[in-house]
Chains A and B, each alone.
Chain A
Amino acid sequence: MKLKRLRIEHFKRFRAPFEIDGFADGLNLFAAPNESGKSTVTEAIRAAFFERHRSTRVEHLRPWGDSAATPTVDVEFEMDSKRYRLTKAFLGKKRCDLTIEGQAPLDGVVAEDHLAQLLGFKFPGKGASAPEHMGIPGLLWIRQGTSHELAQAVTFAADQLRQVLGESLGELTSSGGDAVLQAVEAERNELLTPATGNPRGEFAAALQRKQELASTLSSLERDIAAYQGSVDRLATLRNDHLRDEQERPWASLREQLRSAQGRLDGAQGLQTRQESEQTALQQWRMQAASLRSELDAFARDDAAVTTRQKTLELRANAESAVIAEMQSWERRHAEQVAAEAQARRVLERVRAVGARVETSRAVAELANTVASMTDLLSRAREERTRLTRLQAEAEGLKVSPNDLEKILQLSSSLREVDVRLEAAATTLDFDLLEGQTLRMDDEQVSGRERRTVVGRTELFIEGVGRIAVQAGGETIAALMAQRESQSSEMGAMLRKLTVANPAQAQERARQAAQRLQDARASQKVLAALAPEGVDALEAELASRTLRMQEMRAALDELPEPDQADALLPNQAAALAEAGRALAALEDVVTQLNQSRVTAGQAQSEHATARQELAAAQATADDTQRAERIAAARQSLSDALAREAAAAHRLQATAAELQNVNLALLRQDVDRLTRSAEQLEDAHERRRQDIMRLEVDLETRGALGLEEQSAELRREQDAITRRAEELARLAAALDHLLSLLREKRSALARRLRAPLQKHSDRYLGILFPGARMEVSDDLSPGATTRLGPHGPESGEFEELSVGTREQMGIVARLAYADLLQEAGRPTLLILDDALVNTDDERLGQMKRVLYDAAQRHQVLIFTCHPAAWRDLGVAPRAIGG
Chain B
Amino acid sequence: MALRLLHSADWQIGRIYSQFEPDDAAALFEARFTVVERLAALARERSADAVLVAGDVFDAQTVSDKTIRRLFNALSGYQGAWVMLPGNHDAALAESVWTRAHRLGVVSSNVITCLEPAIRIIGNRFAVLPAPLMQRHTYGDLTEWFSSASTPEGLPRIGLAHGCVQGVLADELDSANPIAANRAVTAGLDYLALGDWHGSRRLDERTWYAGTPETDRFRANDSGQALWVEVAAPGATPEVEVLQTGRYRWRQVEGRLAVSSDVDEVTRTLAGVGPEDVLQLRVSGVCDLNGQERLRQAVEAARARLRALVLESQELRLEPTDEDIASLRADGYVGEALAQLRNEQTGDESDKAREALVILARILNGRSNTSAAANTEARV
Contact = CB atoms under 8 A, between A and B. Distances in A.
A172 B332 contact: yes
Interface string A716-757: 111000000000110111011001100110110000000000
B337 A231 contact: no
Contact of A177 (B21, B333, B341): B333
Contact of B61 (A173, A181, A238, A706): A706
Interface stretch (A134-142, A344-352, A697-705): A697-705
Contacts of A497: none
Interface in A194-228: 224, 227-228
A234 interface: yes
Given A732-B352, A739-B341, A180 B334 contact: yes
A30 B358 CA distance: 62
B333 A729 contact: no
B22 interface: yes
A701 B337 contact: no
A159 interface: yes
A601 B88 CA distance: 119
Nearest to A236: B94
Contacts of B275: none
Contacts of B62: 224, 227, 700-701, 703-707
Contacts of B354: 732
B14 A710 contact: yes
A634 interface: no
A735 B356 contact: yes
Interface string A149-182: 0000000000100000000000111111101110
B301 interface: no
B295 interface: no
A707 B331 contact: no
Contacts of A732: 352-356, 358-359
Given A174-B333, A747-B332, A711 B65 contact: no
Interface string B82-103: 0000000000011111001001
Interface string A227-245: 1101110110010000000
B333 A744 contact: yes
Nearest to A697: B95
Nearest to A174: B332
A694 B95 contact: yes
Interface string B324-360: 0000011111111100110000000101111110111
B63 A707 contact: yes
Contacts of A389: none
Given A697-B95, A736-B359, A177 B15 contact: no
Given A173-B331, A698-B103, A736-B337, A706 B379 contact: no
B364 interface: yes
A713 interface: yes
A714 interface: yes
Contacts of B332: 171-175, 177, 747
A740 B331 contact: no
A183 interface: yes
B76 interface: no
B16 A230 contact: no
Interface string B348-380: 010111111011100110110001000000011
Contact of A180 (B17, B96, B351, B363): B363
The interface size bin for chain A is 35 or more
B100 A707 contact: no
B60 interface: yes
Given A224-B62, A736-B341, A183 B363 contact: yes
A698 B103 CA distance: 9
B296 to A, nearest CB: 14
B18 interface: yes
B19 interface: yes
Contact of A718 (B21, B334, B371): B21
Contacts of B97: 701
B138 interface: no
Contact of A733 (B20, B359, B364, B371): B359
Nearest to A234: B94
Contacts of B136: 228
Contacts of B60: 706-707, 710
B25 interface: yes
A690 to B, nearest CB: 9
B334 A177 contact: yes
A238 B94 contact: yes
B64 interface: yes
Interface of B: 14-22, 25, 59-67, 93-97, 100, 103, 136, 329-337, 340-341, 349, 351-356, 358-360, 363-364, 366-367, 371, 379-380
Given A693-B95, A707-B62, A740-B333, 4 more contacts: A180-B330, A231-B61, A707-B60, A710-B18
Interface of A: 159, 171-177, 179-181, 183-184, 187, 224, 227-228, 230-232, 234-235, 238, 693-694, 697-698, 700-708, 710-711, 713-718, 728-729, 731-733, 735-736, 739-740, 743-744, 746-747
The 9 A-B residue pairs with the shortest CB-CB distance, nearest first, are A174-B332, A704-B64, A732-B355, A706-B60, A743-B333, A235-B94, A714-B18, A234-B94, A710-B16
21 contacts: A174-B330, A174-B333, A175-B329, A175-B332, A180-B334, A180-B363, A183-B366, A184-B359, A187-B363, A227-B62, A238-B94, A704-B64, A706-B59, A707-B64, A710-B14, A710-B15, A731-B355, A732-B356, A732-B358, A739-B340, A739-B341
